[in-house]
Amino acid sequence: MASSNKPPVLLDIAEVSKSFGAVNVLRSVSLTVDKGEVVTIIGPSGSGKTTLLRCVNFLESYDSGSIRIDGKEVGFRPGPARDSGARQRRSERDLASMRAETGMVFQGFNLFPHLTAAGNIMLGLTKVRGKSSAEARSIAEHWLGRVGLGHKADSLPAELSGGQQQRVGIARAVAMEPKILLLDEITSALDPELVGEVLAVVRSLAEDGMTMVMVTHEMAFARDASSRIVFMADGGVSAVGPPKEVLAAETTNERLRAFLARFR
């Protein structure tokens, strides 16, 4: 049998739709992400980017379609099981371990303020992954070193800069060994001089083969670091392709052209 060198599909979003009341926030969104790909989602505010990531991370239900990671349905199933009762029936531990398939890093740093950098990373490892405290500490130290914060293991979030906190957030997400990392505007709340250090961490994880889907307004970074760019508009995928194609000035997609003009 002929073998193919194409990497396997890791994330398969198929015809996902979602409304908040009368507003169709996602309109039959389909997108596949191969293992090792870095896919960047761009688009105007309100186009559904965050909602899509939240559906993949099980933080939000969707109305129809399916989301699979490594072939396994991760989101709320459509139909009766989708009601809030179904959510309640899943134990918090189940939810946490399903979410751990996808690490998510948010715009706000979301670190627990009373825990040290290492403590923040250790929490999920002990509570969700069942690691001993000693094992969790050693994993936390490894990942803190990897994001350039080996010397900050015992610092509290308030003792760290925004860029450092976000690097801890990334370390916390990857320490759980997610199959895919979701990054939602992780540099938007940072002072401009701190953006570079966070993007450098993202880039090095990408180079190591981490599969990522990120929402960002950092167009130069998206152009350099992405395997593909998805342009969302009005809850749908309006364009998708390699950065050179999607970000081409001569695009015939009027919405995309208008969006890109803001960054020129």
Taking the least distance from each CB to ligand ADP, the nearer of 160 and 219 is 219
Best CA proximity match to 184, nearest among 211, 212, 165, 162:
212
Q: Does 165 participate in binding ligand ADP (rule CB under 6 A)?
A: no
Q: Does 45 participate in binding ligand ADP (rule CB under 6 A)?
A: yes
Taking the least distance from each CB to ligand ADP, the nearer of 46 and 148 is 46
Q: Angle formed by the axes of helices 192-207 and 162-175, to 10°? A: 20
Instruction: Kindly state the smallest distance separating residue 165's Cβ from ligand ADP, in Å.
Output: 22
Q: Does 168 participate in binding ligand ADP (rule CB under 6 A)?
A: no
Q: Does 43 participate in binding ligand ADP (rule CB under 6 A)?
A: yes
Spell 108-135 as b/e; 16+ CB within 10 A means b.
ebebeeeebbbbbbbebbeebbebeeee
What CA–CA distances, in Å, run from 45 to 41, 48, 226, 263? 12, 8, 20, 14
Q: Does 108 participate in binding ligand ADP (rule CB under 6 A)?
A: no
Question: Side chain identity at 233, as an amino acid letter?
Answer: A
Q: Does 47 participate in binding ligand ADP (rule CB under 6 A)?
A: yes
Q: Does 216 participate in binding ligand ADP (rule CB under 6 A)?
A: no
Alpha helices in 57-147 (DSSP H): 84-89, 92-99, 117-127, 133-146
**Residue in 25, 170, 199, 239 binding ligand ADP, rule: CB under 6 A:** 25
Neighbours of 214 (CB within 10 A): 26
**Residue in 20, 73, 112, 177 binding ligand ADP, rule: CB under 6 A:** 20
Instruction: Kindly state the smallest distance separating residue 49's Cβ from ligand ADP, in Å.
Output: 4
Question: Side chain identity at 168, as an amino acid letter?
Answer: V
The DSSP symbol for 219 reads H
Chain positions 50 to 79 lying near ligand ADP, rule: CB under 6 A, are: 50-51
Q: Which stretch binds ligand ADP (CB under 6 A): 17-25, 61-69, 88-96, 103-111?
A: 17-25
According to DSSP, the residues that pair with 103 across neighbouring strands are 181
Interface size with ligand ADP, residues (CB under 6 A): 11
Q: Which stretch binds ligand ADP (CB under 6 A): 46-54, 166-174, 218-226, 248-256?
A: 46-54
Region at 52 (left for phi over 0; alpha for psi -120 to 50; beta for the rest): alpha
Taking the least distance from each CB to ligand ADP, the nearer of 120 and 216 is 216
Instruction: Kindly state the smallest distance separating residue 69's Cβ from ligand ADP, in Å.
Output: 20
Instruction: Kindly state the smallest distance separating residue 253's Cβ from ligand ADP, in Å.
Output: 17
Q: How far apart are CA 189 and CA 207, in angstroms?
A: 25
Residues in the site for ligand ADP, rule: CB under 6 A? Answer: 20, 23, 25, 43, 45-51
